[in-house]
Amino acid sequence: MRTNNMELEGLGVSLHGRPLWVYAGPEHAQFGSGIPWEYIQEIHYTTKILVRGPHSIQTQIESEWSSVWYPQSSRDWSCIATLIRSIGVGSCLLVMDHVANNPPASFWTYLDGIVKEGRTTVTRIWIHTNAPMWIPDALFFPPLHDSEATVALQILQAMPARHNHSTWVYMQTAAQWLDVLRDTRRQGLGLVLSDVQETSWTLFWHKPVDSRPSLEAMVGKTSPWLEAATRSLKSHNQSAIYHLE
């Protein structure tokens, strides 16, 4: 699409196994759960873990979650990390949906260690208006109102340099940036900043309606093996599992 002399392409890459940040608050619930299913659902996940908080958006998903958590302590995050490690070879979808606070830093360190082992592929999605404690490979925005233009631009400009490329360079004026948001919102489009298969941070559009699941939510049902593992972890002596300080 072309808007005000700025041409945007639709994001067209798979994001399976990538760390993703979806900028979304309860006020964006009309655009769906925020989970970019269009870019991650082609894979069969060994387990899907949904982590919820007190201000979670009511999600609709296309299949059952393996496990749903409401973490209140570092022990809860320790259990989640242990569950991810327990799948061994396979893929895990970890969605953190409006958790009140970031997990402890040791959780991310431990999770990165699991991923680097090369056995478990983890697609992690942080759905929140607050930034995660890691750099995402793609940053999704829903269609935004004028009042969100400044915050969105500040977030995009704050994405750090990495992979031998610089920070995002945007040469438009504030008025032109506002026009971009209005044009994309009018078409039901959100924005994505990503450097996957790119040589720099690049702005794309995405269509949230294409990521709406077709079935009603079936949250809370757990596969038998994971249900048993979850019960065991929750009741086990704390010293017997990996402990996150």
Is residue 232 situated within a structural domain? no
pLDDT at 229: 47
pLDDT band per the 50, 70, 90 thresholds, residue 172: confident
Is residue 245 situated within a structural domain? no
Q: In whole angstroms, give the CA distance from residue 204 to residue 191.
A: 6
pLDDT band per the 50, 70, 90 thresholds, residue 241: very low
Mean pLDDT of 81-94: 92
Stronger pLDDT, 232 or 211, i.e. the higher one:
211
Is residue 18 situated within a structural domain? yes
Identity (one letter) of the amino acid at 197?
Answer: Q
Mean pLDDT of 52-78: 74
Average pLDDT, the chain: 81
Return the percentage of the chain with pLDDT > 70, whole number.
78
Query: Considering the entire predicted model, what is its pTM?
Result: 0.83
What order do you get walking across the sheet with 120-127 strand by strand?
9-10, 202-206, 190-194, 138-141, 19-22, 120-127, 90-97, 47-52, 67-69
Mean pLDDT of 70-89: 90
Q: How many domains does the chain have?
A: 1
| 140, 167, 185, 197 from 176: Cα distances, Å | 20, 20, 14, 27
Is residue 119 situated within a structural domain? yes
Is residue 235 situated within a structural domain? no
Is residue 61 situated within a structural domain? yes
Q: In whole angstroms, give the CA distance from residue 213 to residue 65.
A: 13
Is residue 233 situated within a structural domain? no
Mean pLDDT of 198-218: 76
Is residue 227 situated within a structural domain? no
User: Which range is least confidently modeled, 56-60, 100-104, 113-117?
Assistant: 56-60
CATH number of the structural domain spanning residue 86: 3.40.50
User: Which range is least confidently modeled, 46-55, 197-206, 228-237?
Assistant: 228-237
Q: In whole angstroms, give the CA distance from residue 105 to residue 64.
A: 29
Return the closest-CA partner of residue 139 out of 210, 191, 207.
191
pLDDT at 151: 94
Mean pLDDT of 16-38: 87
pLDDT band per the 50, 70, 90 thresholds, residue 72: confident
180: domain range?
Answer: 8-221
pLDDT at 43: 74
